[in-house]
Amino acid sequence: MAKSLKNLTSILILLFLAPIIIATVQTPLFMAQPEQVEEKKKEDIPVVYAAQLEKKQPVVQVQEIIEPKKAFVYFTHSHEAYQPILAAQGEKVAIYHPISNITTFQDQINAQFAFHQLQATFLENYNKKEMDDYHTIRPLVQQAIGQNEYDIVLDIHRDSAKANVTTLRSGEQSYAKFIFVVGGEHPNYRWNEQLAQNLSNQLNKLVPGISRGILLKEGKGVDGVYNQDLSKNLLVVELGGIDNNEQEINRSIAILAKALSNMLNEQLPS
């Protein structure tokens, strides 16, 4: 009887202590699981975030050009030619030609300008069979730019300098260099000079060294005005020299179109 009572007492004590023992043993196990999950999550977050950053591209806000910028283009000395082009055509090597001359690049200029959202208008109503000069072409230019507004006016020439001055080798390509002539004998020439400098800078950003800079001309033996008094946006551009070939000139026209677009739309990334 005494032994049965002792066993009963032991069972009651064990039943009383069982929940405490179970709680003591199991609670740390259950508590450990949330901590491990939380720790794992913390380790994963930087990895996922870093992967997202690597894939994310920088956002560039580009303002759409609603209307193309307008350029008026003409060739005062329309007979200026390039010797390699004449030679390739079997022509007598010369620096002037009534047909195969700088005006033959009009289509290339028009196409490259259009590609960069520049609308080019060319002076057409003059006699290309005759050699023009600044005085004879002046009223035609004055009339054209008086009837329409243009963002830029370009009088494009060919320089008389040789290849060592007018050719740039950049990487695997060669280019015809530019130089800008500014006449210093009219009151507002600083406008033309600053515009020429801006375009020269844009050219050299695209292809370092492709622009030879600004040539300010005044005094005896030069025109000194070059019709730039007609517009502060009028630039006299020398495109290459007598030794530049067709490929070099075409490449430079493409760079000129891009540089003009960048300059006239400075809010856009270049």
d(CA 118, CA 105): 16
Token readout for 233 is: 């946006």
Q: Is the confidence at residue 133, as pLDDT, over 80?
A: yes
Place of tokens 């930087």: 46
pLDDT of residue 257: 98
pLDDT tens digits, one per residue of 147-197: 999 999 999 999 999 999 999 999 999 999 999 999 999 999 999 999 999
pLDDT attached to residue 146? 96
Give the mean model confidence (pLDDT) for residues 107-115: 98
Residue 124 has a pLDDT of 83
Report pTM. Answer: 0.74
- Tell me the pLDDT tens digit for each residue of 64-78: 556 899 999 999 999
* Residue 144, pLDDT above cutoff 90: yes
User: Cα–Cα distance between 177 and 171 in angstroms, integer?
Assistant: 15
Please tell me whether residue 25 adopts helix, strand or coil conformation.
helix
Q: What is the mean pLDDT of residues 119-127?
A: 84
Contact in structure between 210 and 175 (CB atoms under 8 Å): yes
| The predicted structure's pLDDT at residue 52 | 32
Q: What is the dihedral of CA 129, 130, 131, 134, to 10 degrees?
A: -110
Across 197-218, average pLDDT: 98
Pick the closest to residue 112 from 263, 259, 264 (CA basis): 259
